[in-house]
Structure 1
């Protein structure tokens, strides 16, 4: 669990009253460090700013037998790859990029905190049986093409919802040409196409990585079980007979890609950018180049970027854009420092940030001139472009500026663009000017999969090694640790159980907002400056749906209070409805809740009185999170019915079929629309749900947590 989601997961687990977690569990402090000046100063500031949260998480770890990784130790997914991942095993993580561990042959699935509580409380974890999408890789990457380009290309083919309900399984001879961390990059961004998870077959690259990270014994065991960790021969021979869908990718022909802005599936070859920039009116200047994040912060990533930096330094030039580097872990940081790679990057002007999520999750205090000011406050500045090796580029995600355009690429392409300062720069064909004004062309990057075997990885400063607990009940009882939450705290709040279902239909629901277009978990529960309230449900509820576009008003964060007849922000109206005891629902478009696994995007609406979300389709994790919190997720039987509904205050909605809710049975919505003259029109909309018998029990109890508490108490 990462620190932003672990707060709510621990607060929920506390209600189970169990003495220890039932499965090995770890907490990683990577989300709450704001990138500003330097690694040392930023971590020091985070320890002051977030002391209450870190103390809470560490005391909970001590109480329940959980391993605790301190702030500065690294990003959860890189640490998992280095320490926990193993071929053929299953892991749940409270972060949507948990599938990163698929690069080591692990079935790693991103979930909400309530799902993690299930596992921690020894409650069976449930997943709707996924389909399997096979991606056959042939050939070998060459030139400027990288593992990142494989998933950037695939995102364009599948779109942000094309992988929903699927596990993506990579196979074919091309898989044996990739490094373990390269495969991790590809699996990591499977989240961007909605996949349940992604996985590679066990191969020699994984064995080498395990040996390099002091786990040769796991590689030896995997070698013995290799037949179970790879596709069977009949599957290889006739994949179309075994996979639900097959996509072919020839790595020999793959060229560098760049995706964005505002959505990770807007994909195109880098060679087309010059034309697109002119057609779309995008900024030509690159304000900032950023490499790192959980997707691309491995040793190999850094060696490839450093190989570009060395060429530039040899020609006497520096980055024209601000250039920021985020190592994935203390182990990566220490190793690249020892091997001179940090110096290579700093020579061209890079600033090395803390081993943390930083700008990727919106923890970024920009310092690059005018754009350090939020775009909402200075609309006269217009859009600005950044390029990053991150995984997501939703509007306003990285810096809170809705006008910042984030383009996703490999670390080496980002480095080259930072040197040129131009979004149109293509290192495959274009030249730079050296210190004497003479043109030169960058050679393709070269990198090392792993550090030299004689030196190996440097584990770095011992202060960042995990605090390991003895999870036996006897030991924990002997060393009982109190977990204190100040009732006056603005950062932490003990949870009150959500009310149980009353057994009847849901009646007279107001439509809080009809959402138009993309609505990610960033839109529903923004991160960035709001991360400080992750442990305080009441406070963080004030950001509910602030990024959503109201289809009726055409404005972001706008809703009509049907009691007062006045427009307000969505949280303001939601709070007013909660105070008045008025239940409500949300109408939304396709893939509602895509993006991060944050369960706050389900808990906040529930806290404010939401009883139902009606959409054209849901993202998998978010739909489960809604079910966990006692919110009924429904989809239109006929998507055109979306156009019949409005949030203009004239409609109320009641259900028919909830009182006898059963798997596979429809739920009808009885809609009453009141006209200005007082007359009314009534019509019915048919909807579907995916609730299982167990999930219906969650709904009846008011939440999955309420059910767990009733069982454990």
Structure 2
């Protein structure tokens, strides 16, 4: 049926001596209407047309795209099939663990283990495991790589097994680069070629990824976004990504950035504007003649931070700049020609003056962008450079008020004056010298993360600023932990060629690794004297990083304020050493001539940056990507068994057989209502996946730390939660264990604690959940607005399920986390009207939820609340299972359970 339906919509594209088929939007009955669609929706329309089968995709789905034009929105559910899947190792390892466990489950239930293979192309890039242990030395890179390999031997052996065992699965070894930059510079094709019954079919390159910043690839005109690891596994196993046809907000760019303004300043401005606009769950598509002045690397910076402005993706259409970048980064002449021909034939090419139909629009004249940072703990909180000291002081005052209250209560009368004095700083000794650590001290300055390390202009600017600063005699403040973690090896190639690497090194910005580091919490420890000084007087210190995430508790447990900035500003703050300095008016330091040196004195001109960027050439990309899947000798030396199923090791602290499929049968059990559940946590607004999912370092006195010590793992070998995502025993113990999470069931308590009822005993959330499990009591979590924002951490949902939580009731959800909860068999419910605060919950209530046994998407359900004092309440909530596919997954107990049963059938 599929071939008969689609054959009338094919056309031929001829390139030189080669011909190929494509599915032409112009051949649809609504072809002329569809020409007015946003280009991102044209990509979705082609995807539907190519996968037309009369079942999961019908002609009515395609027609719905034309109907979208009439109102700029749609309530229709569609099935999107990306051509490939991208993973990083933190989220990729548990996905491969699940695939291995699925092989065991299929075999146990009478199928063939070899049935379980990715059906779509899958690339996993190992980039999230390097930590900044060593820094500020020439040996830092080698030391960190050695420690990475030693810590992660079990994980890497497992991935090597997967690389050899699964079809359609490639691994990019450690030390190569960040997955998004490898995707941008090498993996992404813009136009994809695939064989279908012996015929070459060309189509738009599309993907989903297990990292929320997969959106970066939209800069190349490649439609893609982050999904949970669970949803990505289903996609690579042939299941469509179920979604509603999205609203598309057009963002019109005009003008050009002024002298001294960077792509980072632009993206932080865009983030703030789009957050204020409200684009959660929507596509954003950039258009306007200002795109002609915007290099692709700048577009990538903006596309990368789509999760920060809340959109599903930030799409840039294909134009001459796209072709220039594809050529620069080593794509073949044939591929570049194919991209141009296909996009022009299909109506995907950007022309000057294009004005597609959008749901809504907003605009920015780029000449108005000012130098800025974002902080102290949200990417959308943009602060102009001149106002950073005031913004820091405001955040400090909030902490002082809280600290005063806690200390006055805890120490019986310590005066506010004494608290203020104790917060002023303390002396410490480092490398034989004595210093005073003041409030506002910058203790971490990191050029890190995919956001900016894909962008030669800001990296060259950082190098040029470092050269000017060094020549003036400036040095970094001694308490600053400085690091350079580029997104690919090409970065160090061009910094070396420009003669700038040595100047960055003189200021302490030595190469520490190729991968995500500080931005994901892999900042490593601070020097012990500095950590002691911070703890002694609870000093409010800061990190400045060129990343995309600065949530509270994410960068380092002792660093309360975190600021996103461009790479040259990261260097500048390392020199200044404190957030209380106004870099627009006050000096960074004193030069070797005894005169003050200001930021304006050393800031590079646009011409100097352009001349440095011109040194980046095609040969660099050819050199670094020639053997991208090979790895170094250490990677090649890892020995693995050649078995079709994985040989699980009971004593492994990294890889364990997850329990998700242990008791599943060939048919799903009926869904039952939830009766007399207990509250595990009552949470406020903006609880992120960083709060829910285990991330960062593992504390020795935490449930996860105690578990590892019970296995004989020494504290120095704990590694991070992210590196242990293949062990559910560690991860479930770290769920809801973030040191900054605040459970409103307890007063004045931070961290993963709760109160068990009816005993009233205060326990860790893990310990309480295990006691409830023994008692046969189901659990519910209640939360405020924007529940689950942040990185698309699958363990935020997996851990929730393993703790025994059957439902989450929140005021609103982040898109990926809502989907992940359903994928693990947890039902997301949304308050109708007032939220949790109006209910006056104490935590001792019993929660019953009716109507789950007869669910439909978006159904209103009744929640009955019985307090220990006899007070009874009844409210209505909306089920946030939004589509029929999601409901099917939920009824099966999870998306992977459904896939296994499909295979067996």
After TM superposition, the score normalised by the length of structure 2 is 0.73
CA spacing shift, 1:589–1:229, aligned 2, 3 Å: farther
In structure 2, C-alpha distance between the alignment counterparts of 1:436 and 1:385, rounded to whole Å: 30
CA spacing shift, 1:213–1:686, aligned 2, 3 Å: closer
> Unpaired segments of 5 or more residues in structure 1?
469-477
**Is 1:254 aligned with 2:410?**
no
* Residues 337-362 of structure 1, C-alpha deviations (whole Å, 9 max, x = no match): 34433212112332221001111111
Which 10-residue stretch deviates more, 454-463 or 294-303? 454-463
How far the C-alpha of 1:570 sits from its partner, in A, is 1.5
8 Å CA contact retained: 2:696, 2:722: yes
Partner of 1:144: 260
How far the C-alpha of 1:245 sits from its partner, in A, is 2.1
8 Å CA contact retained: 1:560, 1:647: no
How far the C-alpha of 1:183 sits from its partner, in A, is 1.0
Partner of 2:358: 243
2:577 to 408, 412, 421: 421
In structure 2, C-alpha distance between the alignment counterparts of 1:627 and 1:405, rounded to whole Å: 34
Partner of 1:32: 129
CA spacing shift, 1:113–1:423, aligned 2, 3 Å: same
* Residues 586-639 of structure 1, C-alpha deviations (whole Å, 9 max, x = no match): 000111111011110000110111100000000001000001000000100113
After TM superposition, the score normalised by the length of structure 1 is 0.92
In structure 2, C-alpha distance between the alignment counterparts of 1:161 and 1:98, rounded to whole Å: 22
Which 10-residue stretch deviates more, 572-581 or 56-65? 572-581
CA spacing shift, 1:184–1:608, aligned 2, 3 Å: same
In structure 2, C-alpha distance between the alignment counterparts of 1:160 and 1:487, rounded to whole Å: 50
Q: Secondary structure at the match of 1:126?
A: strand
Partner of 1:531: 722
Partner of 2:863: 669
**Is 1:695 aligned with 2:865?**
no
8 Å CA contact retained: 1:365, 1:372: no
In structure 2, C-alpha distance between the alignment counterparts of 1:451 and 1:20, rounded to whole Å: 44
8 Å CA contact retained: 1:305, 1:445: no
**Is 1:567 aligned with 2:750?**
no
**Is 1:465 aligned with 2:628?**
yes
1:574-585 correspondence to structure 2 within 5 Å: 574-585=769-780
**Is 1:681 aligned with 2:872?**
yes
8 Å CA contact retained: 1:77, 1:294: yes
CA spacing shift, 1:455–1:159, aligned 2, 3 Å: closer
In structure 2, C-alpha distance between the alignment counterparts of 1:113 and 1:386, rounded to whole Å: 29
* Residues 295-337 of structure 1, C-alpha deviations (whole Å, 9 max, x = no match): 1113333212111111112212222244211111123233433
How far the C-alpha of 1:374 sits from its partner, in A, is 10
8 Å CA contact retained: 1:302, 1:341: no
In structure 2, C-alpha distance between the alignment counterparts of 1:373 and 1:167, rounded to whole Å: 46
Partner of 1:646: 841
How far the C-alpha of 1:508 sits from its partner, in A, is 1.4
Partner of 2:234: 118
Q: Secondary structure at the match of 1:504?
A: coil
In structure 1, C-alpha distance between the alignment counterparts of 2:488 and 2:894, rounded to whole Å: 36
In structure 1, C-alpha distance between the alignment counterparts of 2:319 and 2:290, rounded to whole Å: 11
Partner of 2:186: 83
In structure 2, C-alpha distance between the alignment counterparts of 1:533 and 1:52, rounded to whole Å: 10
8 Å CA contact retained: 2:862, 2:874: no
8 Å CA contact retained: 1:3, 1:27: yes
Partner of 1:344: 503
Which 10-residue stretch deviates more, 429-438 or 345-354? 429-438
1:34-433 correspondence to structure 2 within 5 Å: 34-37=131-134, 38-65=140-167, 66-87=169-190, 88-159=204-275, 162-215=278-331, 216-227=333-344, 228=346, 230=348, 236-237=354-355, 242-281=357-396, 283-298=439-454, 299-320=456-477, 321-368=480-527, 370-372=529-531, 378=535, 380-401=537-558, 403-425=559-581, 429-432=585-588, 433=590
**Is 1:490 aligned with 2:653?**
yes
CA spacing shift, 1:561–1:243, aligned 2, 3 Å: same
In structure 2, C-alpha distance between the alignment counterparts of 1:277 and 1:32, rounded to whole Å: 31
Which 10-residue stretch deviates more, 279-288 or 135-144? 279-288
CA spacing shift, 1:608–1:21, aligned 2, 3 Å: same
**Is 1:9 aligned with 2:172?**
no
CA spacing shift, 1:261–1:57, aligned 2, 3 Å: same
Partner of 1:658: 852
In structure 1, C-alpha distance between the alignment counterparts of 2:617 and 2:361, rounded to whole Å: 41
How far the C-alpha of 1:153 sits from its partner, in A, is 1.3
How far the C-alpha of 1:103 sits from its partner, in A, is 1.6
In structure 1, C-alpha distance between the alignment counterparts of 2:509 and 2:151, rounded to whole Å: 26
8 Å CA contact retained: 1:30, 1:71: yes
* Residues 72-117 of structure 1, C-alpha deviations (whole Å, 9 max, x = no match): 1111111111111233421111001110111211112101111111
How far the C-alpha of 1:459 sits from its partner, in A, is 5.5
8 Å CA contact retained: 1:161, 1:194: no
* Residues 132-159 of structure 1, C-alpha deviations (whole Å, 9 max, x = no match): 1111111111222122222211222333
8 Å CA contact retained: 2:186, 2:625: no
**Is 1:624 aligned with 2:721?**
no
8 Å CA contact retained: 1:324, 1:351: yes
8 Å CA contact retained: 2:211, 2:227: yes
CA spacing shift, 1:275–1:79, aligned 2, 3 Å: same
Q: Secondary structure at the match of 2:124?
A: strand
* Residues 667-702 of structure 1, C-alpha deviations (whole Å, 9 max, x = no match): 111222231xxx452423333423322211111111
Partner of 1:473: none
Partner of 1:443: 603
In structure 1, C-alpha distance between the alignment counterparts of 2:503 and 2:622, rounded to whole Å: 21
8 Å CA contact retained: 1:201, 1:229: no
In structure 1, C-alpha distance between the alignment counterparts of 2:276 and 2:792, rounded to whole Å: 15
> Unpaired segments of 5 or more residues in structure 2?
1-86, 104-112, 135-139, 191-203, 398-438, 632-640, 698-720
How far the C-alpha of 1:169 sits from its partner, in A, is 0.8
In structure 2, C-alpha distance between the alignment counterparts of 1:495 and 1:281, rounded to whole Å: 43
CA spacing shift, 1:175–1:426, aligned 2, 3 Å: farther
8 Å CA contact retained: 2:242, 2:883: no
Q: Secondary structure at the match of 2:285?
A: strand
* Residues 497-542 of structure 1, C-alpha deviations (whole Å, 9 max, x = no match): 3665543312111111111232101100131121232001122111
How far the C-alpha of 1:644 sits from its partner, in A, is 0.5
Rg larger in structure: 2
8 Å CA contact retained: 2:448, 2:517: no
* Residues 253-297 of structure 1, C-alpha deviations (whole Å, 9 max, x = no match): 111111111111111221222433445447443222211211111
How far the C-alpha of 1:580 sits from its partner, in A, is 2.6
8 Å CA contact retained: 1:31, 1:357: yes
In structure 1, C-alpha distance between the alignment counterparts of 2:616 and 2:839, rounded to whole Å: 65
8 Å CA contact retained: 1:287, 1:368: no
Q: Which runs of 4+ in 1 moved over 6 A?
A: 231-235, 461-464
Q: What value does the CA root-mean-square deviation take over the aligned residues?
A: 2.6
In structure 2, C-alpha distance between the alignment counterparts of 1:253 and 1:444, rounded to whole Å: 20
How far the C-alpha of 1:648 sits from its partner, in A, is 2.2
2:744 to 546, 551, 565: 551
In structure 2, C-alpha distance between the alignment counterparts of 1:701 and 1:98, rounded to whole Å: 28
2:781 to 586, 591, 600: 586
